[in-house]
Amino acid sequence: MSLLIKGVANFISLTDTPASYAGQKTKVPQVSDAEDALEFTAPGAKNFLALTDTPASYDGQATRVPQVNAGEDALEFIAAARFTKTKIFDGATAEPPTRYLKPLTIFPNHTPSGSGGRLQRIFAICVGDYIYVGGGRFYEIVYNKQVWRYKPATGEWARMANLPDNYGFYQQNNVAGHHDGKIYLYANYKAAPYCTKVLEYNIAGNSWTVYDAFSTNALHKTVLACLSDGLYLCLDQHLQIWDYTAHTWSGEKAAPPDEFEVGGRIGDDIYCLGRTNVKTYKYNKGGNSWDDQTQDAPVGLHFGCACYVEDADEIWAYYKAGRVCYKYTTTGGWVSQFTYGRDSAQWDWFLQFSGETKLYAVFGIGGLETIYEDNVYSGSIHTYDPDSLNWELLGVDLTQGDFMVIDTGDVPVLVEKDGVLKWTATGLATFFIMEPGRYLFTLSKDYTYANTKIWKSVWG
């Protein structure tokens, strides 16, 4: 094409065009944005969004910049490198402010109406859909024969047949078991005639029967386990087996190597934790001996609370001095699970229904002990549920490009995503988030988090 304009020799001679071809190779003329002249420009797309390998909109991308994506086949917007910090967690004001775990649900504070809060020195056991609690002796003054049944599924309490006499139970001992539709208890608190008895409760008949035990002493160091071949009862360093049908005792079996307070049933065997040497023993039925399981426990774990696990696959115990809860399995030994962080009297019983990981804590010694800030009445049942994120310190949604600043106060903070531990932060640490999603920040067990602070970046 030629320009046949009178007095004009070529394109650049026009007054509304660029004055030179220099540096414009392969470019084409177009009307300028002001629409009052021509200019040279590259052919094709006129802006970033018009390109086929870029985002289609600027909406929501304020202050962000483009980068090549992970697939290396397109561009994407990411946060620009402008950082101002915002505190998203402050341990000094966190709820609860003391311990890593919310150890027990505070509400509802289940107490059987009409009991007067005087279910102390009690027994507790879970069978089927119900928790049974009852007893015992309120300090040195009042006996309580009341027995109650609680259904966690509905939150309902029901009064059952009273204990047949003024029987009490020592809260640190496993004194309850279940076999063939009957609950068996060993009364071991205070003095004759209200102790050293085996109590049989017929669930279907809501009735009690009392049998003599093999000892006439009020022995507080007790472990009872209902196995398939009989009721096994350890009293101090004595073991005998009671026949469910004949109601007779076996006579002395092999002497336990230590006094027992913590123990119970796993499978069809009885396991006990030594009071003095804190070693774990299993009774060998065939050899009439006690086998050391070489699974020692923390010193002081014998002094805590009793437990009844319906599946008979583990034993729980409570270390009073450190307020730490331990679980024992035959494969793992004694392992710390969580710290009890409430300022209250300890509970008397751990209970766990078949097929559940949830724990029920039954209080039997509190109530009128005003030395605690959180006064829990006797007979109260609280729930600890590891599936309800009671162990969560902080959950926060993070995006790629976020920058984290964590000041743990020298306490390890675990950072998890999708159930996988991503990193552990100690002291003052910084992290750049490459993978977006929800992150959980938790403390290593048994630490307080009063000094822990966490910030995340705010871009723009």
**DSSP calls for 391-416:** T-SEEEEE-TT-EEEEE-TTS-EEEE
What are the tens digits of pLDDT across the range 402-436?
A: 888 888 877 777 787 876 778 888 888 888 888 88
What would the mean pLDDT of 115-140 be, rounded to a whole number? 80
Distance CA(350)–CA(103), nearest Å, equals: 13
Q: Whole-prediction pTM value?
A: 0.64
| Selected residue with higher pLDDT from 314 and 370 | 314
- Is the pLDDT assigned to residue 125 strictly greater than 60? yes
Q: What are phi and psi of 87, to 5 degrees?
A: -75, 125
Place of tokens 């209250």: 344
- Phi, psi torsion values for 329, nearest 5 degrees: -130, 160
Q: Which of left, alpha, beta for 451 (phi over 0: left; psi -120 to 50: alpha)?
A: alpha
Q: What residues does CATH 2.60.120 cover in the chain?
A: 84-99+391-458
pLDDT at 389: 41
Determine which helix (DSSP H) or strand (DSSP E) holds 125, and give its type and residue range. Answer: strand 123-127
Q: Is the pLDDT of residue 89 over 80?
A: no
Side chain identity at 343, as an amino acid letter? D
**13 Cβ partners below 8 Å, 6+ apart?**
none
pLDDT value of residue 100:
29
Q: What is the DSSP letter of 459?
A: -
pLDDT of residue 387: 58
Q: Is 4's pLDDT higher than 70?
A: no
Q: Tell me what pLDDT residue 129 has.
A: 95
Overall average pLDDT of the 320-331 stretch: 82
Hey, what long-range contacts does 323-326 have (CB within 8 A, 24 or more apart)?
A: 324/298, 324/446, 325/103, 325/350, 326/297, 326/298, 326/301
- Torsion sign (Cα): 8, 10, 13, 16: positive
pLDDT over 70 (residue 322): no
Could you read off the pLDDT of 370-410 as tens digits, one per residue? 676 666 667 778 777 665 544 445 677 888 878 888 888 77
What is the structure's pLDDT at 107? 31
φ, ψ for residue 12 (rounded to 5)?
-75, -5
Local confidence band at 211 (pLDDT 50, 70, 90 cut-offs): very high
Position 367 pLDDT exceeds 70: no
**pLDDT on residue 385:** 65
**CB crowding 316-331: b at 16 or more within 10 Å, else e:** bbbbbeebbbbbbebe
For residue 403, what pLDDT is reported? 83
Interatomic CA distance for residues 257 and 263, integer angstroms = 14
Arithmetic mean of pLDDT, 192-204: 90
Residue 287 amino acid letter: G
DSSP line for 343-389:
SSPPPSEEEE-TT---EEEE--S-SS-TTSSS-PPTT-EEEE-GGGT
Measured between its terminal Cα atoms, the distance across the chain in Å is: 52
pLDDT digits (tens, 9 = 90+) for 27-72: 878 888 888 888 878 777 777 887 888 888 888 888 778 888 888 8
Mean pLDDT of the chain: 80
**Angle at 32 (CA atoms; ends 29, 33), nearest 5 degrees:** 145
Task: Quote the CA–CA distance of 232 and 214 in Å, as a whole number.
Answer: 12
pLDDT at 114: 57
What pLDDT, in 10s, does the model give residues 133-155? 988 766 556 677 889 898 888 87
Distance, in Å, from the CA atom of 174 to the CA atom of 124, rounded to the nearest integer, reads 9
What is the rounded distance in angstroms from the CA atom of residue 107 to the CA atom of residue 46? 64
pLDDT at 443: 64
**Strand (E) or helix (H) holding 178:** strand 176-179
- Side-chain-side CA neighbours of residue 66 (13 Å): 13
- Asked whether 266 and 315 are in contact (CB, 8 A), the reply is yes
Beta bridge partners of 396: 439
With CA atoms as reference, report the closest residue to 147 among 127, 309, 382: 127
Q: Write down the pLDDT at residue 446.
A: 45
Whole-number pLDDT of residue 104: 36
Strand partners, 349: 306, 362
Residue pair 189/237 in contact (Cβ under 8 Å)? The answer is: no
Q: What is the CATH number of domain 84-99+391-458?
A: 2.60.120
**Of 236-240, 339-343, 382-386, 404-408, which one has max mean pLDDT?**
236-240
Contact 284, 277 (CB under 8 A): no
Window from 18-22, 214-218, 268-272 with minimum mean pLDDT: 214-218
**Residue pLDDT, tens place only, 258-311:** 998 899 999 999 999 998 888 999 999 999 999 999 998 888 787 778 999 999
CATH architecture of 123-388: 6 Propeller (2.120)
Confidence of residue 172 (pLDDT cuts 50, 70, 90): confident
- Average the pLDDT over each of 77-91, 289-303, 346-360 and give the range with the smallest value: 77-91
Report pLDDT for 38. Answer: 83
pLDDT at 246 over 60: yes
Residue 158 has pLDDT above 90, yes or no: no
Mode of pairing for the β-strands spanning 176-179 and 182-187: antiparallel
For residues 195-221, give the mean pLDDT: 91
Select the more confidently predicted residue: 28 or 184.
184
Confidence at residue 127, expressed as pLDDT on a 0 to 100 scale: 98
**Residue 439, amino acid:** Y
